[in-house]
Structure 1
Amino acid sequence: MDLKPYALIFVKGRTCLGRINRQVTDSPYSHVAVVLDEWHVAETNWWSPLKVRHLTYPQDMIDVYRYREPVTPAQAAAMDDFIQAKLWTPYDFIQSITNGLYLLTGLAIRDTPDRMNCSEFADELYAAAGIDLSLRPLGKVTPADLARSDKLERVANRENRRRYLSQHSRETFFLRSCHGFVCYQTPS
């Protein structure tokens, strides 16, 4: 499997919060991360601001989706600039909670300025490159909304990822660059 920059990794979370998120959104996915290269992702989650991390999700928890069209150099530059500008942005608990309340009751989604959740990050990243992934208002999306986008195609699931990882040595993992970004998590 060839992980390309800006592909989206959808995670089937198994934690209590992940299972609640999956049930409320009626989706197999509770989280989304953005691929930077074969070994690194940019992501934010409830315990961490937006960071570059090593890709360490168990293979049986992920599916990979990619934009159907080739990403142009101008789009890639816009996405890289967006990531650089948003690194260390805190997680938006309010939006995540109100996303769930919106789906359950229809209450309005509230967005906290200068914060973002995982799906908001992915949606706004693509929007920075001029690509609208969802019909919902910008940033007010769930991982399920993004996975259902007709502009994305599912290119890999856990079986493809397992085969890929079995063909590449762990040393390659440690030698890869972070696609021009600073990695803050040490490899395990």
Structure 2
Amino acid sequence: MNDGSDPHILDKQTDEIVGTLNSDKAVYVEAKRKDTLDNQNIFDFTANAKIDKASLLEKRNRLVIQDEDGFFREYIIVYAERHNHSEKIVQSNASIIDLAKAKTIEPQTLQGATSASATDFALLGTEWQVGVIDYTFIRTIQIKEYTNPLAVLRRIASTFDLEIRYRVEIKGNKITGRFWTYLGLTPNR
């Protein structure tokens, strides 16, 4: 996985970068990163358990990786176990998955909502904020049962025919912002 996107390891409490994994054979045995349109975003790898930084690869710590567009994506380690004396297996999911537990959204109707205003509503009170959203079409979004921000954000994408995009910003050695945005799948619908 030597594409210039060496993962940074962040402390789960402070969001500060505590280490960087070099993507050479001394660190990675194998790596798999998958970002899909339905947002089944994962980053799984097997690391050399003998390196000093292997101890930083623990459950709930975060990984930040630069994507092909130059933006940073954040993943949360959900599994980290030493496989044998020389390998550590690490599995992580995109940090957006935590939006499913961020808060409960009550049934209601978002009348005359733009994708930006509906996104702002869904993210209110979370650690995420609305990024740049250029799509100003107006729709009505019905939330028929108790749900969560991630489900509402996926519903917004479906309603407006948009592709979900998310990114984090880093300044110095710390995450300074988490941003949610969309890309249009069809022009001026």
Q: Name the TM-score, length of structure 2 as normaliser.
A: 0.23
| Larger RCO, structures 1/2 (Cα 8 Å, 6+ apart) | 1
Q: Of Structure 1 and Structure 2, which has the larger fraction of its residues in strand?
A: 2
